[in-house]
Amino acid sequence: MSRGPERTPYWLYSALVLMLVFLVVVVLLPADGEQKEPEIAVSDPFTGEQHQSGLLYEEFQKATIEASETPPVNHAGTGIALIMDDVGYDLKALKRVLALPFHVAISILPDAPYAEESAKMAHAAGSTVMLHLPMEPSNPKYRARMNGAFLKADMDEAQIKDHFIQALNRVPHVTGVNNHMGSLLTTLKEPMQWVMQVCKQRALFFVDSRTAHNSVAATVAADSGVAWASRRVFLDHTVDDEDLRLAWKSVLKCAKRKGSCIVIAHPHAETLNFLEQRVLESERGSVQPLTTLLHSGGVS
């Protein structure tokens, strides 16, 4: 009698399954053994768009920055520079910012009730004083909230420059400017050229807050011979402690990868608590004056 085909032993099936599981684990786990940061969806306060917070949010910003038009880099320093936006409403919060053990540039809204006093306090403390210049956003929700301080897309050259100069007159000791909102206006070349003409005449630098991925503000600043920089990370899209931790981690990685990282924060109590308590002493030396991280104007 002929013998039928022999059955494969059960132990061989088990061995093959275990080998397959091992290969899947090796392929999917990060090479350095570090767990991936969780994805946390947050809403951009300027555009209303959904992005990712923390490390993943910074990676989103990296992609949008590198995909859009940016000017050549000339003579920027290295490290982290922190800008505190929306100053001029809370003097107690400003005192906490000025007491931080590292340099923070103070960006003041021209129509804020304590704009002048805030500028004088920041200047006396040796901080860089900036004008947080309101510009028209693209989101209709925020556009509806514009007041007379905003530079708008339908303004002509004289109106843009006049509004800009009026804003400068409200905030003493200004040495630089960054845009408040502006996800529409910063995408328009001609209004940005008018803004940079005033910056050039007043010897002011310009930091593009990058509220729009297709902003031309930094490029126009460089072309106009204005010292410039671009924001890379918003620290406090949300003020949840874990989100702040992840965002700060992304700042450190951004500075290590790029050499420099411009960070914008806001004087929320939670943000100030984080900066006072959670920035390690070993990390404080990386935070440099903003002016040392500016790129020189002019295309090489």
Within-domain flag for 34 = no
pLDDT given for residue 30 in this prediction = 40
Cα separation, 261 vs 252, in Å, equals 8
Q: What is the pLDDT of residue 48?
A: 36
State how far Cα 202 lies from the chain centre: 25
Q: How far is CA 226 from the centre of its chain?
A: 20
- Per the structure, the count of domains in the chain is 1
Closest among 145, 201, 153, 146 to 177, alpha carbons compared: 201
- Identify whether 99 is part of a domain: yes
Is the C-alpha dihedral spanning 150, 151, 153, 155 positive or negative?
positive
73 in any annotated domain: yes
Tell me the pLDDT of the chain averaged across its residues. Answer: 83
Q: What pLDDT does residue 64 have?
A: 34
Kind and range of the H or E run holding 117: helix 115-124
Strands 228-230 and 79-87: unpaired
| 5-23 tens-digit pLDDT | 555 565 655 666 666 655 5
Q: Determine the 3-state secondary structure of 132 from DSSP.
A: strand
Start-to-end Cα distance in the chain: 90
Q: Is residue 8 part of a domain?
A: no
Q: Residue 77's pLDDT band (boundaries 50, 70, 90)?
A: confident
| pLDDT tens-place string over residues 151-204 | 999 999 999 999 999 999 999 999 999 999 999 999 999 999 999 999 999 999
Average pLDDT for residues 192-217, to the nearest whole number? 98
Question: What's the CATH number where 108 sits?
Answer: 3.20.20.370
Sequential DSSP letters for 44-89:
-TTT--EEE-HHHHHHHHHHHHHHS--PPP-S---EEEEEEEEESS
CA 31/CA 185 separation, integer angstroms: 43
Structural domain boundaries, residue 237: 41-293
β-strand partners of 108: 87, 131
Q: Please indicate, yes or no, if residue 288 is contained in any of the structural domains.
A: yes
Supply the pLDDT for residue 11. 61
152 within some domain:
yes
State the pairing for strand pair 176-181/205-208: parallel
Looking at the domain assignment, is residue 11 inside a domain?
no
Percentage of the chain exceeding pLDDT 90: 72
pTM: 0.77
Phi, psi angle pair for 28, to nearest 5°: -85, -30
Query: How much is the average pLDDT of 33-39?
Result: 32
Q: Is 244 among the domain residues?
A: yes
